[in-house]
A and B are shown apart, each in its own frame.
Chain A
Amino acid sequence: MMSNDHILNPETMPQSPEKATLEGKNKFLGLWFFLGGETVLFASLFGTYLSLKNSTAGGPTSEELFGLELVFIMTIMLLTSSLTSVYAMYHMKNNDFKKMQLWLGITGLLGIGFLAMEIYEFAHYITEYGFTFRSSAFGSAFYTLVGFHGGHVTFGILWLITLMIRNAKRGLNLYNAPKFNTFSLYWHFIDVVWVFVFTVVYLMGKVG
């Protein structure tokens, strides 16, 4: 039986602090299962998008709208943020809290950059092409799918900021290590979804 004091101020850090307590193991499994459910959530959105992507109601088509440059930069940013969160977990396992915070900070900044570019992209479509959420079924499906992903990124950034601020002064322990780990798993999943977004929406949309 682990005392509360040991969980908050462990004398030694185990190799996998995120799974050292029962609560940690539970969080780990719970988040994975949540991601399993999220897979179906996004599948429903992708399916809807695929069945409506040609329903432009006379508006611009995906080939006319999408540009590859911005999407490429966004992809690289999110991919890199996935790597930086791997670095953060690497430092967590080495029990190097400061470096972990640093890499998490970079992850968050890349996420914010990604989000800013997405907002720019949406604004561009609306002002340049008059292509909105309401203009056609294609518009609704596009903004909903990509927007749901963007919403997940936003939530992830808020989560990350809360975690970083809350634990800035007290360092790593067996209570917060599972929290950092679940965040990083969630963040990787956002990247997984983005891989399908850029493939199915942008690349396949550009091919026709």
Chain B
Amino acid sequence: MSIAATQKQGFGAVIWDYLTTVDHKKIAHLYTFGGGFFFILGGIEALIIRIQLIKPENDFVSAGFYNEVITMHGTTMIFLAAMPLLLGLMNAAVPLQIGARDVAFPFLNSLGFWLFMFGGILLNCSWFLGGAPDAGWTSYAPLSTTSPGHGVDFYVMGLQIAGAGTLIGGINFLVTIINMRAPGMTYMRMPLFTWATFVTSILILFAFPALTIGLFLLMFDRMFDSAFFDVTLGGNTIIWQHLFWIFGHPEVYILILPVFGLFSDIFSTFSKKRLFGYTAMVFATMLIAFLGFMVWAHHMFTVGLGPVANTIFSIATMAIAVPTGIKIFNWLATMWGGSITINSAMLWSLGFIPSFTVGGMTGVMVATVAADYQYHDTYFVIAHFHYVIVGGTVFGIFAGFHYWWPKMFGRILNETMGKIAFWTFFIGFHLTFFIQHFLGLMGMPRRYWVFLEDQNLDLGNFISTIGAFFMAIGVIVFFINAIYSQVKGEKAPADPWDGRTLEWSIPSPPPYYNFKQLPLTRGLDPLWVEKTEGNGKMTPAEPLGEIHMPNNSFIPFVMSLGLFIAGFGFIYQTDNNAWFIALFGGMAIALGAMIVRSVKDDLGYHISKEELEREADE
């Protein structure tokens, strides 16, 4: 099981290894590949949207197909690209940053990934089975309850399965961070990315159940004729909006907080300075999460909740600008007077600050109730949320991959290509979305598949589409860079960035047990503390001894496959009762896998002291 042995494995053995792995580093790879695949898919959908809107009354795609594409673009990017890529970075970095050998629940970690993957595949099967969901990524009832065909059914089942995986991942990270920290790693010594993961996991824990229920209600209405959203039987469609946004608003903080964390780590590493205002950063993160739960109705200002409710939610929303502002200033102060290295990771981080600030500013604008009646459902809103999600989350994901790629894959990404990717994407991003603010203010509504000539919308839309192609080029360069680095890239040393935190104290990529001896943390930025005191490496907190490791398991894959099959059963039982076989069969597989897991003892194995010593000699 040593690293040398793993490298000699055949192709089949590697595949089997990944199908059964419970190692957080390999699961990080899986999330990266899965999320990267869906990111390309979502990107292609985005290009289709922009090509359709390149000129007035274009007929590149039909109106119905356009609806499917916008729905799938939003759903894919949020649930199947951004979140998994973030979970990939969390899996890659968090256990190493706290000095742990693995996560608290390695089995559940694997289950979480496979649920996400099968959920994503199920959702995308809809393209080949009569059409994708077309009710928008928000799937408002009654549009979603009356949408014909099975598109929305795929949305419901796909997100239900993928969402369960995310919830499992959230609980896993919470317990990992609480219980698995190495000696000396107190809460207030944790790197900001670990803190952000912790707070994000709390948000996942409390936000996803609302989506689960919302999806169940929609599923019951569509598949089993219940009447939650059926107004003729006393139903109420506002319930969906509430449930969706009670989940949906914390969701945007789930997307942004992790990258706030990783930007903090990157700024301090490449400025060679301790993070400015560490404590304030931690509490600002918590405050954003806390406020993030009380603002969901700002998505519903035009529903007519009344002036009192609207005002409360408006003020709460604007309050979030305060902790976010604290963060922006702390990042600037971290760089102030630092010895700054500007490489690709740093470029993405520097690009993030002005881009995200624009998004934050328009956020306060749309939070103003009276003005929001003008902005609502126009391209202004599209511009706003792309500025925060692309300018924040996507920039952050790129920065994070440049930063941790050496630790994840043992290779350093090419700097030249990294810079080309950044500049094309950065320019393309602002070309695409800045102009959309004005398109929105001029009254261009979102989700329309054509616009008319001579309404002053032609040039803006043309520029926007050109920008989208620049972004696509940037992404392609990044992917070429990723492949190139694997083939010809520079082998990464343990600590390529002169890092500050524990992940840089072990080889790149780390051995499968991470730390031969758990490190002793003596302060914030533990590796930096040792460097300044002239040790250069961590002091072990324990003598060399046996290491306990979890066993690989194929059960998570089987369990998720069972739910995947059952998903088809649920979707098609409305057409033909024979599909109940798939429904019950799939559930039986999932439940059976659970029982096997419960009944079979899985105590893991131990790596002996002798083996560890032998590896040290190699």
Q: Indicate if A touches B (C-beta under 8 A).
A: yes
Q: A interface vs B, CB < 8 Å?
A: 1-4, 7-8, 22, 25-26, 29-30, 33-34, 36-38, 40-41, 44-45, 47-48, 51-52, 54-57, 133-141, 144, 159, 162-163, 166, 175, 179
User: Residue-by-residue, is B148-185 near A (CB-CB < 8 Å gives 1, otherwise 0)?
Assistant: 00000000000000000001000110110011100000
Which of B59-67, B224-232, B320-328 is found at the contact surface with chain A? B224-232
Contacts of B220 in A (CB 8 A): 133, 140, 144
Contacts of B174 in A (CB 8 A): 29-30, 33
Asked if B409 CB lies within 8 Å of chain A CBs, one says: no
Contacts of B598 in A (CB 8 A): 159, 162-163, 166, 179
- Chain B positions 503-530 with a Cβ under 8 Å from a chain A Cβ: none
Taking a contact as CB atoms under 8 Å apart, the answer to whether B213 and A37 are in contact is no
Taking a contact as CB atoms under 8 Å apart, the answer to whether A26 and B545 are in contact is no
Contacts of B606 in A (CB 8 A): 1, 3-4
C-alpha spacing A41/B243, complex, angstroms: 10
With beta carbons under 8 angstroms apart, the residue of A30, A38, A136 that contacts B227 is: A136
Taking a contact as CB atoms under 8 Å apart, the answer to whether B226 and A51 are in contact is no
With beta carbons under 8 angstroms apart, the residue of B205, B228, B246 that contacts A52 is: B228
Taking a contact as CB atoms under 8 Å apart, the answer to whether B595 and A37 are in contact is no
Taking a contact as CB atoms under 8 Å apart, the answer to whether A140 and B601 are in contact is no
- Nearest CB in chain B: distance from A5 CB, A: 9
- Nearest CB in chain A: distance from B563 CB, A: 15
Contacts of A54 in B (CB 8 A): 234
- Chain B positions 179-235 with a Cβ under 8 Å from a chain A Cβ: 179-180, 205-210, 212-214, 216-217, 220-221, 224-228, 230, 232-235
Known contacts A41-B209, A55-B235, A55-B236; decide if A140 and B243 are in contact (CB<8 Å): no
C-alpha spacing A7/B210, complex, angstroms: 39
- Nearest CB in chain A: distance from B476 CB, A: 39
Asked if B603 CB lies within 8 Å of chain A CBs, one says: yes
Contacts of B603 in A (CB 8 A): 4, 7-8, 175
Taking a contact as CB atoms under 8 Å apart, the answer to whether B224 and A1 are in contact is no
Contacts of A55 in B (CB 8 A): 233-236
Contacts of A33 in B (CB 8 A): 171, 174-175, 205
Contacts of A8 in B (CB 8 A): 601, 603
With beta carbons under 8 angstroms apart, the residue of B178, B209, B228, B234 that contacts A40 is: B209
Contacts of A44 in B (CB 8 A): 209-210, 212-214, 243, 246
Asked if B397 CB lies within 8 Å of chain A CBs, one says: no
B221: nearest chain-A partner, CB-CB: A140
Given contacts A33-B174, A38-B209, 13 further A-B contacts (CB under 8 A): A2-B548, A4-B603, A25-B179, A30-B171, A30-B172, A30-B175, A37-B205, A37-B209, A51-B239, A136-B233, A140-B235, A144-B217, A163-B598
Of A26, A36, A162, which is in contact with the most chain B CB atoms at under 10 Å from its CB? A26
Asked if B104 CB lies within 8 Å of chain A CBs, one says: yes
Contacts of B206 in A (CB 8 A): 36-37, 40
Contacts of A29 in B (CB 8 A): 104, 174-175, 178-179
With beta carbons under 8 angstroms apart, the residue of B104, B232, B239, B599 that contacts A48 is: B239
Of B167, B217, B227, which is in contact with the most chain A CB atoms at under 10 Å from its CB? B227
- Nearest CB in chain A: distance from B386 CB, A: 29
Contacts of A34 in B (CB 8 A): 171
Asked if B377 CB lies within 8 Å of chain A CBs, one says: no
Contacts of B209 in A (CB 8 A): 37-38, 40-41, 44
Taking a contact as CB atoms under 8 Å apart, the answer to whether A48 and B235 are in contact is no
With beta carbons under 8 angstroms apart, the residue of B227, B236, B242 that contacts A57 is: B227
Known contacts A41-B213, A134-B225; decide if A52 and B175 are in contact (CB<8 Å): no
Contacts of A135 in B (CB 8 A): 227, 233
Contacts of A38 in B (CB 8 A): 209
Asked if B105 CB lies within 8 Å of chain A CBs, one says: yes
Total number of A-B contacts with CB less than 8 angstroms? 128
Contacts of A51 in B (CB 8 A): 236, 239
Asked if B458 CB lies within 8 Å of chain A CBs, one says: no
C-alpha spacing A208/B545, complex, angstroms: 67
A138: nearest chain-B partner, CB-CB: B234
C-alpha spacing A52/B246, complex, angstroms: 18
Known contacts A29-B175, A56-B234, A140-B220; decide if A162 and B599 are in contact (CB<8 Å): yes
Taking a contact as CB atoms under 8 Å apart, the answer to whether B233 and A175 are in contact is no
- Nearest CB in chain A: distance from B392 CB, A: 25
- Nearest CB in chain A: distance from B369 CB, A: 23
Known contacts A3-B606, A133-B226; decide if A40 and B239 are in contact (CB<8 Å): no
Asked if B546 CB lies within 8 Å of chain A CBs, one says: yes
- Nearest CB in chain A: distance from B226 CB, A: 4
B208: nearest chain-A partner, CB-CB: A37
C-alpha spacing A57/B230, complex, angstroms: 11
B548: nearest chain-A partner, CB-CB: A1
Taking a contact as CB atoms under 8 Å apart, the answer to whether B228 and A137 are in contact is yes
C-alpha spacing A133/B234, complex, angstroms: 13
User: Residue-by-residue, is B234-249 near A (CB-CB < 8 Å gives 1, otherwise 0)?
Assistant: 1110010011001000
Known contacts A3-B606, A7-B603, A144-B220; decide if A139 and B205 are in contact (CB<8 Å): no
Taking a contact as CB atoms under 8 Å apart, the answer to whether B208 and A134 are in contact is no
- Nearest CB in chain A: distance from B598 CB, A: 5
A–B pairs, 20, beta carbons within 8 Å: A1-B606, A8-B601, A8-B603, A29-B174, A29-B179, A30-B175, A33-B205, A36-B205, A37-B167, A37-B209, A41-B212, A41-B213, A44-B209, A44-B214, A48-B239, A52-B235, A134-B225, A136-B233, A159-B598, A163-B598
C-alpha spacing A46/B209, complex, angstroms: 13
C-alpha spacing A91/B236, complex, angstroms: 50
Taking a contact as CB atoms under 8 Å apart, the answer to whether A57 and B234 are in contact is yes
Contacts of A138 in B (CB 8 A): 234
C-alpha spacing A136/B236, complex, angstroms: 11
Taking a contact as CB atoms under 8 Å apart, the answer to whether A1 and B179 are in contact is no
- Nearest CB in chain A: distance from B274 CB, A: 31
C-alpha spacing A191/B450, complex, angstroms: 55
Contacts of B233 in A (CB 8 A): 55, 57, 135-137
C-alpha spacing A163/B171, complex, angstroms: 23
C-alpha spacing A11/B224, complex, angstroms: 55
Taking a contact as CB atoms under 8 Å apart, the answer to whether B595 and A175 are in contact is no
- Nearest CB in chain A: distance from B418 CB, A: 38
